[in-house]
Amino acid sequence: MSPDTVFALASGAGRAAVAVLRISGPRSAALLEALAGRLPAPRMTTLRRLRHRGEALDRALVLWFPGPGSFTGEDSVELHLHGGPAVVAAVSEALADLGARPAEPGEFTRRAFLHGKLDLTAAEGIADLVSAETEAQRRQALRQAEGGLATREAAWTGQLLRLLARQEAFIEFEDEDLPHDLDIRVTTEAAALRRELEASLAESAREERLREGLSIAILGAPNAGKSSLLNALAGHEAAIVSARAGTTRDVVEVRLVLGGVPVTLADTAGLREASDEIEAEGVHRALARAERAALRLLVFAADTAPDAATLSLRDEDALLVGSKSDLGPPVLAGALPVSTTTGEGLPLLRAALEREAARLAGMNEAAGLTRPRHRAAIGEAVSWLAHLETAPLPELRAEALRAALRALSRLTGRVDVEAVLDQVFGEFCIGK
């Protein structure tokens, strides 16, 4: 752990009424005394004039948090300054002159983790809270920051520890008066735990969609009304609309929120036999986007027969849209009639998209697996538990349980964490 004392702006950059400068490390008390005189009472807001080298810097509210009773577990200080950039710059320069250094991204939260104030999943939850765009993302991040996933991991770990204790007892005290089916019960309960972990893995794709956002692709033949539909859903002119077929050659994206889920809506090139290499690349990109999208809007013009290329993409994760319904009813049965000219069907389409977004993103109340790192740890534990079921010797079954425990422990960072620390905390903003 670095012995340095670090500082960073914990509030937003730019001009504001108040700017919060955070300091943490062994020299926090000395820095505060150098700037503001004697230390104030712990955790009590005090108004002080800040000075450095005889010059007044600001009149600020200061808070002193002796470790370990602070966010980082170290001695810490908060300076609530007037929010002008010149004030923040002057105080920052004074701190650097006194021997502190600017904090790296996520360094405050990393120090909190290293001092045992929170685990890795809670740290990731804090990062997600900072970047949450929607109410659903906020709730998901808060559940994780407050220990929801760590609580689930603790329950799984507790089950594994009990199973390992029984397996070890079977090995060490085989000649004692133990239940004759102890070894079989361990295998049976381990299989039940494996199925529970597999169910969590199955839900993880939806949890990640909520955290990262949902991808929706608009697909259809040239001049089917895809770009007009994108503009209508976005509420502004994001894509060029023309009566000339094949206007859209590249993917055009807009970001919006549907039912609390952040969504990237993509307009794509019309699906047809390309007339030149540029259009061919556009069609290739459209099909690639269709493959990656969580949901596909298959758009068919009401006055045109459905095309085979778009119909081939129809599955359970596709919504059929009969565009240009002002020209007549959709030819394709089951398609939702929509007209961007009259507005017919647009509210119904948006409601359908919100339902699908909620379905695909999960919107669970339980804390789930939201990152590839989580899935990797749980997936490894599942693999070891599956190996246990076929292991021919009690000693090998015990080793499989120990390996599953090690894999689970990486979820919260109790062991083997150095390899993932930079990845986890590098996502944070400066000052958090």
Per-residue pLDDT of the chain (432 residues; tens, 9 = 90+): 568 999 999 988 888 899 999 999 999 999 999 999 999 999 999 999 999 999 999 999 999 999 999 999 999 999 999 999 999 999 999 999 999 999 998 899 999 999 989 999 998 999 898 888 888 888 888 999 998 999 999 899 889 888 888 888 777 766 555 566 667 888 899 999 999 999 999 888 778 878 888 889 888 888 888 888 888 888 876 555 544 555 555 678 888 888 888 888 888 877 766 666 776 777 778 788 888 888 898 988 887 878 888 888 888 888 898 888 888 777 677 888 888 889 888 999 999 998 888 888 766 667 788 888 999 999 999 999 999 988 888 889 889 999 999 999 888 876 544 444 454 455 555 565
Residue 195 counted as an annotated binding residue: no
| pLDDT computed for residue 420 by the predictor | 40
Residue 22 counted as an annotated binding residue: yes
H helix count then E strand count, the chain: 14, 12
Residue 268 counted as an annotated binding residue: yes
CATH homologous superfamily of domain 217-361? Answer: P-loop containing nucleotide triphosphate hydrolases (3.40.50.300)
Q: Are the C-beta atoms of 385 and 412 separated by less than 8 Å?
A: no
Residue 267 counted as an annotated binding residue: yes
Residue 204 counted as an annotated binding residue: no
Strand partners, 219: 298
Residue 131 counted as an annotated binding residue: no
Q: Do domains 6-103 and 123-209+371-425 have the same CATH topology?
A: no
Residue 402 counted as an annotated binding residue: no
| pLDDT computed for residue 275 by the predictor | 63
| pLDDT computed for residue 176 by the predictor | 59
Residue 244 counted as an annotated binding residue: yes
Q: Kindly tell me the burial class for residue 209, based on how many C-beta atoms sit within 10 Å of its own C-beta (0-12, 13-18, 19 or more).
A: buried
Domain boundary assignment for the chain: 6-103, 123-209+371-425, 217-361
Residue 223 counted as an annotated binding residue: yes
CA distance 75 to 324: 65
| pLDDT computed for residue 423 by the predictor | 44
Residue 285 counted as an annotated binding residue: no
List C-alpha distances in Å: 243 to 277, 309, 329. 22, 21, 20
Residue 24 counted as an annotated binding residue: no
Q: Summarize pLDDT for 326-367 with one digit per residue, the tens.
A: 887 776 778 888 888 898 889 999 999 988 888 887 666 677
CA distance 220 to 226: 7
Residue 269 counted as an annotated binding residue: yes
Residue 225 counted as an annotated binding residue: yes
Strands 261-267 and 214-220: parallel
List C-alpha distances in Å: 39 to 73, 252, 282. 18, 57, 65
Nearest to 412, CA basis, from 161, 116, 150, 145: 150
Q: Retrieve residue 180's tokens.
A: 């004759």
Helix ranges (H only) for 243-371 are: 277-292, 308-311, 346-361
Q: Are the C-beta atoms of 274 and 289 separated by less than 8 Å?
A: no
Strands (E), 150-304: 214-220, 252-258, 261-267, 295-301
CATH number for region 123-209+371-425: 1.20.120.430
Class of domain 6-103: alpha beta
Q: Are the C-beta atoms of 92 and 430 separated by less than 8 Å?
A: no
Q: Are the C-beta atoms of 271 and 283 separated by less than 8 Å?
A: yes
| pLDDT computed for residue 132 by the predictor | 87
Residue 135 counted as an annotated binding residue: no
Whole-structure pTM value: 0.72
Residue 324 counted as an annotated binding residue: no
Residue 117 counted as an annotated binding residue: yes
Nearest to 392, CA basis, from 161, 183, 196: 183
Residue 270 counted as an annotated binding residue: yes
Nearest to 408, CA basis, from 369, 368, 370, 379: 379
